[in-house]
């Protein structure tokens, strides 16, 4: 009996240790991003940019995609599945087995320290907050100063051709991209780590990068990217809808138009090509009482107020409160998952 009680206490202590470790890793990863940010794509030749996991994943995908091409559409779709699984495995498996080896062969407690150090760096690289914040503030300032050449430097926020865009359309591009990136570069990686550990966060980054590289309905990628695009839609299905609810809650906390945010999100979420991103985009448009437009493709929200640079700053505030609320959810998930003995690596 004493041995059983002793074993239970050891297990309980290990669970608490894993909970504490995961919480510290998530908090430090976010703080590290807020301090250091990400290397700017405006300087693609810098080594820190070239070695970023997202860049490595993108370059790897681009390099091997030609080997998965085929003249037969069905065969090429099947090869696209293999392409996606190959890219995911190429980055997930080394991380998983490397961290597993640390857990298994490094002495107890020392392994937690080594794991924590590596985990903070890896999880931070799946998150992007500071770089987007700096760009959004710069774009807002340029739009308010009617400095369109300066504002158009940030059009790659949404991979949008900026040549013919006016100030309001540039502001729209920035806010739309912030809404999409809230899921892809913040909330989903945080939740993936909370549920599945570091390998979960890396797996999500690989899936999302695949979608960004080949998940387009163009002649070049329509077949090889079919699996990647649908996989990204699948893993983001619930996070995007939950994020819209969190953004509406953030709007209420900030005393913005939360009721209108809910109305527009429900009304307009189907207007975007993405099955998912229309929800957060509609929510922010409604909360700010503005109209978001991608010329020739869709219009979200009602132009109740002009889209000025201040609206970009308002979208940033909604984003930040949403991240805090989501972080509290992640804390609960970390505690529940690890309390019951599941220790994701």
> How high is the pLDDT of residue 159?
64
> How high is the pLDDT of residue 10?
45
Point out the least confidently predicted range of 103-117, 152-166, 212-226. 152-166
**Pairwise CA distance, residues 38 & 52, whole Å:** 9
Q: Which whole number is the average pLDDT over 5-30? A: 76
Residue 8 confidence (pLDDT) above 70: no
Distances in Å between the alpha carbon of 332 and those of 326, 327, 336? 10, 9, 6
Cβ atoms within 10 A of the Cβ of 327, count? 16
Between 162 and 219, name the one with better pLDDT. 219
**Pairwise CA distance, residues 102 & 109, whole Å:** 11
Q: Which whole number is the average pLDDT over 247-259? A: 98
**Pairwise CA distance, residues 262 & 240, whole Å:** 14
Tokens at residue 198, please?
Answer: 């570091």
Measured N-to-C along each axis, helices 309-339 and 278-288 cross at an angle, to the nearest 10 degrees, of 130
Residue 296 confidence (pLDDT) above 50: yes
> How high is the pLDDT of residue 2?
44
Q: Which whole number is the average pLDDT over 222-245? A: 96
**Pairwise CA distance, residues 300 & 265, whole Å:** 9
Digit-coded pLDDT (tens) for 155-168: 666 666 667 788 88
pLDDT classification of 340: cutoffs 50, 70, 90: confident
Residue 37 confidence (pLDDT) above 50: yes
**Pairwise CA distance, residues 306 & 84, whole Å:** 42
Digit-coded pLDDT (tens) for 191-217: 999 999 999 999 999 999 999 999 988
Helix and strand numbers, DSSP H then E, in the chain = 14, 2
In the chain, what percentage of residues exceed pLDDT 90?
74
Q: What angle do CA 299, 304, 306 make, to 5 degrees?
A: 85
Q: Which whole number is the average pLDDT over 47-66? A: 91
Point out the least confidently predicted range of 3-7, 52-56, 64-68, 259-263. 3-7
Residue 12 confidence (pLDDT) above 80: no
> How high is the pLDDT of residue 157?
61
Average pLDDT, the chain: 91
> How high is the pLDDT of residue 303?
95
> How high is the pLDDT of residue 155?
63
Between 162 and 72, name the one with better pLDDT. 72
* 308 class by beta-carbon count within 10 Å (0-12 exposed, 13-18 middle, 19+ buried): middle
Q: How many angstroms separate the most distant Cα atoms in the chain? A: 77
């Amino acid at each position: 009996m004493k041995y059983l009680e002793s074993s239970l206490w050891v297990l309980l202590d290990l669970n608490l240790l894993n909970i504490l470790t995961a919480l510290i890793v998530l908090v430090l990863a976010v703080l590290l991003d807020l301090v250091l940010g990400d290397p700017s794509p405006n300087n693609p030749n810098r080594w820190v940019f070239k070695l970023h996991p997202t860049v490595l994943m993108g370059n790897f995908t681009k390099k091997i995609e030609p080997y998965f091409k085929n003249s037969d559409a069905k065969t090429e779709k099947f090869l696209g599945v293999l392409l996606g699984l190959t890219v995911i495995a190429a980055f997930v498996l080394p991380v998983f087995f490397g961290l597993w080896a640390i857990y298994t062969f490094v002495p107890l407690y020392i392994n937690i320290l080594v794991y924590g150090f590596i985990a903070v760096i890896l999880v931070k690289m799946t998150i992007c907050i500071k770089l987007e914040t700096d760009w959004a503030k710069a774009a807002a300032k340029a739009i308010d100063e009617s400095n369109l050449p300066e504002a158009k430097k940030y059009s790659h926020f949404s991979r949008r051709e900026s040549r013919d865009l006016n100030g309001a359309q540039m502001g729209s591009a920035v806010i739309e991209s912030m809404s999409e990136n809230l899921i892809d570069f913040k909330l989903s990686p945080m939740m993936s780590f909370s549920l599945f550990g570091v390998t979960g966060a890396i797996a999500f980054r690989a899936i999302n990068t695949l979608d960004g590289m080949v998940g387009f309905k163009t002649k070049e990628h329509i077949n090889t990217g079919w699996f990647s695009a649908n996989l990204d839609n699948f893993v983001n299905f619930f996070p995007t809808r939950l994020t819209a609810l969190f953004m509406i809650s953030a709007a209420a906390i900030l005393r913005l138009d939360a009721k209108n945010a809910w109305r527009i999100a429900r009304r307009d979420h189907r207007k975007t090509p993405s099955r998912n991103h229309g929800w957060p985009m509609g929510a922010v448009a409604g909360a700010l009482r503005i109209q978001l437009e991608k010329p020739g493709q869709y219009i979200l929200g009602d132009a109740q107020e002009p889209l000025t640079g201040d609206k970009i700053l308002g979208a940033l505030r909604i984003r930040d409160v949403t991240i805090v609320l989501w972080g509290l959810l992640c804390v609960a998930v970390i505690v529940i998952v690890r309390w019951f003995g599941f220790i994701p690596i």
